[in-house]
Amino acid sequence: MDDASADAHVKPYWETLPPGATAEVPGLDGLTHRPLVMLVEEKPDSNVIDTDEPTFLLYEDGTVLYHRVTNDGAPGEAMRADIGATGAQAVADELVKLGVLDLPNVDGLGSDEPRVELFVRLGARWHEAIVYGASRANLSRDGRAPPAFFTAYRRLATYQAPGATTWSPDEIEIHVWGGAPGSRAPAWPDPLPRLPAPLKPQPETHVEVVPGTYEPTVRAFKRPDGGYNMRVNLDGFDWMFDYIRRVPEEAYVRKVRDARWRFAPRDAQ
C-alpha cells in the first residue's frame, strides 16, 4: 500500500466529504427580522416531522431566541433577548472563524437518528452543516464530525444572554393527522378554536394557525397532570395531535430549512 492509500485509509469519514455546502435562499428583502444564524436539533421521535423549532435563532437586528439549558443538559424554556446588531454580527463572525463555512454534511445510518442542523448566513448566501447522529448527549463526540462542528454546536446549544425574558410566540400551528373512528381520545380542548369541520381521515396533516395566546391551553391539554397526551377526539374520530410555535419570519425560516436539500458544495457553485 502506498503512502497516499495509507493516508486515505486512516482519514476520518468526514474528511472525505466535500466542504462548504451553500445556497442563496431568496426572500430576505422586505423582512422585518432577517435571520442570520440558526440551530435545529431534529428528533426522530418528533410527532410533527421536520417542524422542530430552532433551539437557537439569531436575527441580524440582534433579536435572539434560544432554549435555556436544563439541569440535565436538555433544551428547556424558550427565551428572548436583544443583543443588538453588533452583538449579532459578533456571534456570526465567531462561527465563521471556527470554520463553519467549510463544514461538510455528515450522513447517518438512517432517518431514525437524531440530526443537528447548523445554518449561518454570509451576505445573501446560507451555509449549512447537517450531522446525523449528533445530539446533546454526545456534544463531545468529536469523532463523528469535525471538531469545529461540535465547538459551534456547544456554543449555540448552551447560549445565554443577559436580560433575557421568557419568549411567547405570536402564533402557533395546530397539527392534526391520522384519524380513526373512535371516542377514546380526550375531547377537543376549549377554548381552542376548532379546525374547520367536518374533518375526514386523509394522508395529509390538517394545519391551523391560531394566536399564541392559546398555547397555555394546548400545553395543558398535551401534558395533563405531568403526563403526555398526543391524541384528540374531533368529529367522531380519534386523531394524532401536536403543535409548534411559529418564530418571527417563520415562512422564510422554513424556506431555508426546506432548501437544505438543494445546498451544494461551494466548489460546485
Please compute the mean of the pLDDT values over residues 152-166 and round it to a whole number.
Answer: 93
Percent of the chain with pLDDT over 70: 77
List C-alpha distances in Å: 101 to 90, 146, 217, 257: 15, 12, 41, 16
Task: Report DSSP letters for the chain, one per residue.
Answer: --HHHHHHHHS-GGGGSPP-EEEE-S--TT-SS-EEEEEEEE-TT-SSTT-PPPSEEEETTSEEEEEEE-TTS-EEEEEEEE-HHHHHHHHHHHHHHHTGGGPPPB--S-TTS-EEEEEEEETTEEEEEEEET--GGGTT-TTSS-HHHHHHHHHHHT---TT-EE---SEEEEEEEEEEE-S-SPBPPTTSPPPSSPP--EEEEEEEEEEGGGHHHHHHHHSGGG----EEEETTEEEEEEEEEEPTTHHHHHHHHHGGGG-EEGGG-
For residue 20, the model assigns a pLDDT of 60
Q: Do 122 and 101 form a contact (C-beta atoms < 8 A)?
A: yes
| 47 and 126 together in one domain | yes
- Residue-wise pLDDT for 215-225, tens only, equals 999 989 988 77
Cell numbers representing residue 96 in the block: 465563521
Q: Are residues 52 and 151 in the same domain?
A: yes
On whether both 71 and 179 belong to a single domain, the answer is no
| Percentage of residues of the chain with pLDDT beyond 90 | 43
> 74 vs 114, which has greater pLDDT?
114
On whether residue 144 sits in a domain, the answer given is yes
Task: Evaluate whether residue 218 is within a structural domain.
Answer: yes
1 in any annotated domain: no
User: Residue 3 domain-assigned?
Assistant: no
- Please state the rounded mean pLDDT for residues 116-141: 82
Distance between CA atoms of residues 182 and 154, nearest Å: 45
Q: Is the omega angle on the peptide bond into residue 18 within 30 degrees of 0, that is, cis? A: no
pTM assigned to the model: 0.83
Q: Does 147 share its domain with 262?
A: yes
| Contact predicate 74/100, CB 8 Å | no
Question: CATH code at 132?
Answer: 3.30.1560
The residue whose grid cell reads 426572500 is 27
Q: What angle do CA 269, 265, 120 make, to 5 degrees?
A: 100
Answer yes or no: do 46 and 161 share one domain. yes
Q: Tens digit of pLDDT for each residue in 13-48?
A: 556 555 667 888 999 998 999 999 999 988 755 555
| pLDDT of res. 44 | 59
Number of domains observed in the structure of the chain: 2
Closest CA to 263 of 23, 19, 102, 4: 23
Between 203 and 58, name the one with better pLDDT: 58
Same domain, 90 and 121: yes
Q: Are residues 88 and 220 in the same domain?
A: no
Per-residue pLDDT at 10 exceeds 70: no
Residue 2 lies in a domain: no
Say whether both 241 and 257 belong to one domain.
no
- For residues 32 and 118, membership in a common domain is answered with yes
Computed over every residue of the chain, the mean pLDDT equals 82
Residues 30, 148 share a domain? yes
pLDDT above 80 (res 70): no
pLDDT of 1 reads 46
20 and 49 both lie in a single domain: yes
Q: Calculate mean pLDDT across residues 126-141.
A: 76
Q: Which residue range(s) make up the domain with 196?
A: 170-245
Distance CA 109, CA 127 (A): 23
Interacting residues of 137 by C-beta distance below 8 A, sequence separation 6+: 73
For residues 130 and 210, membership in a common domain is answered with: no
